[in-house]
Every structure is written in C-alpha cells, then in structure tokens.
Amino acid sequence: ESMLVVFVSSLYDWLWLIVQSRLKKHIGMSLMSRLMDHSHYFYQDHFSGNLSSKINDIIMGVPKLLKTMIDEFFSDALALINAVITAWQVSRCFGLALSVWIFGFFLGSSLRFLRTAKTLSDEAAGLKATVFGTIVDILTNSMTVRLFGGKLFEESQLEKRFQATLNAEQKRDKFFMLLYFFRGFSFIIFQILCLWWLVWGV
C-alpha cells in the first residue's frame, strides 16, 4: 500500500511538472499576443513595467491556483463529504449540526463575502503590480531620470505607491483574518453543541 502511494504521488508530481510548464508557456504567449494587438494609445496610458508585472503575476498565479484547487479543494471536499456521512451514521443530530455548519457557516460565509474578498484582492494585486511596474520603468529610464534631476520625484512617487500597496494588503489581510475567526468561532460552538449532545446521550 505504501509503495502504491509513493508511485501515485510521484506520477502526479511528474504529470504536474509537464502540465505546469506548458500552461505557463500558453498563458504567456496568449497574453503577449493580446497585448500586441492593442493600439499605440494603450501603451501611452500604461507603464510597460506595470504590464510586465501583471503578466508575470498571471503566469505564476494561475498554475499555483490550479494546483491549490486540485490539492486542497477536492481533497477537502471529499473529507467533508466523508465527515458528514460518518456523522449521520453516528447520530442524526451530529449529521444535521455538521451539515448546517458546513453549508450555513463555512460555505455560506464564503459565498456571502466572495465579492468583497475579490475586490480587496484585486485592489491589492493591482497596486502591487503598479509598484513593481514603477521600479522597472525607473530602472529602464534611469538615464532620463538622472538628466532631468527626477530622483527625488520618482522616490516620492514610489514611496506613495508602496504605502498604498501596504494599506491595501493590510485591509485585505484583516478582512480574511476576521473571516477565519468567524469560521473558527462557529466551529467551536458546533463542537460545544456536540459535546453537550454526547453528555446528554450518556
């Protein structure tokens, strides 16, 4: 059995290695093809560094998100289904309580605050891309910055963008921290309720 687990795990890692590299190549080529179709005015309104940073984030982020979905989402979903079935077999009260917690609190809170989470994450990611885009543009045009004495101005603009990114990331992280706290607290209530049922049953 252990040999089978090792074999399946190694096979999965090997297949993912092949898929990941091809996926990154496909994403990069698709994004560059679409960007090169834009008009000249588009590039006047967007920093090249900002665009390259966003491309890099997408190339690295999409495969990571896909692997997270495969590794965690499906395994967690199977574990939850197994837990619900087991709880129902032990007691209808346990099964009902666990079902209410999963669909009412866990999934319910996820769906309820999905739009807020997406907005905060998009804002933080956009500001982060702007920071790294600004850095790339400053380095690319370093001679122009020096000739026109723009060092202090560029540093001031970069500092403002760093601070805006920091504020957005803290706002996003605080939101997720409160969301996880709510889930954890609701699960503690569920455990207390199950403990009370056990004592009452005895």
Q: Do 186 and 138 contact (CB within 8 A), yes or no?
A: no
Place of tokens 């209410």: 100
Instruction: Give tens-digit pLDDT for 95-121.
Output: 888 888 888 777 777 778 888 888 888
Instruction: Give tens-digit pLDDT for 8-44.
Output: 778 878 888 888 888 888 988 888 888 888 777 777 6
pTM over 0.75: no
In this predicted structure, the answer to whether residue 6 has a pLDDT above a threshold of 80 is no
Instruction: Give tens-digit pLDDT for 36-54.
Output: 887 777 776 666 767 777 7
Return the pLDDT at 75: 72
Instruction: Give tens-digit pLDDT for 172-189.
Output: 999 989 888 888 888 888
- How far, in whole angstroms, is CA 53 from its chain's centroid? 17
Q: What band does 196 get if pLDDT is binned at 50, 70 and 90?
A: confident
What contacts 87, CB < 8 A, 6 or more positions away?
94, 95, 97, 98
Mean pLDDT of 190-196: 83
Return the pLDDT at 2: 64
Phi, psi of 132 (to 5 degrees): -70, -30
DSSP string over 19-47: HHHHHHHHHHHHHHHHHTTS-HHHHHHS-
Return the pLDDT at 174: 93
Percent of residues, the chain, with pLDDT higher than 90: 7
Percent of residues, the chain, with pLDDT higher than 70: 95
Q: Buried (b) or exposed (e) across 10-32, using 16+ Cβ within 10 A?
A: eeeeeebeeeeeeeeeebeeebe
Q: Do 15 and 90 contact (CB within 8 A), yes or no?
A: no
* Distance linking the first and last C-alpha atoms of the chain: 39
**Side chain identity at residue 33, one-letter code:** S
Q: Whole-number mean pLDDT of the chain?
A: 81
Mean pLDDT of 150-179: 89
Task: Compute the distance between CA of residue 120 and CA of residue 169 in angstroms, rounded to an integer.
Answer: 8
Cα distances (Å, whole numbers) of residue 173 to 23, 150, 166: 29, 34, 10
In this predicted structure, the answer to whether residue 156 has a pLDDT above a threshold of 80 is yes
Return the pLDDT at 130: 83
Instruction: Give tens-digit pLDDT for 56-67.
Output: 878 888 888 788
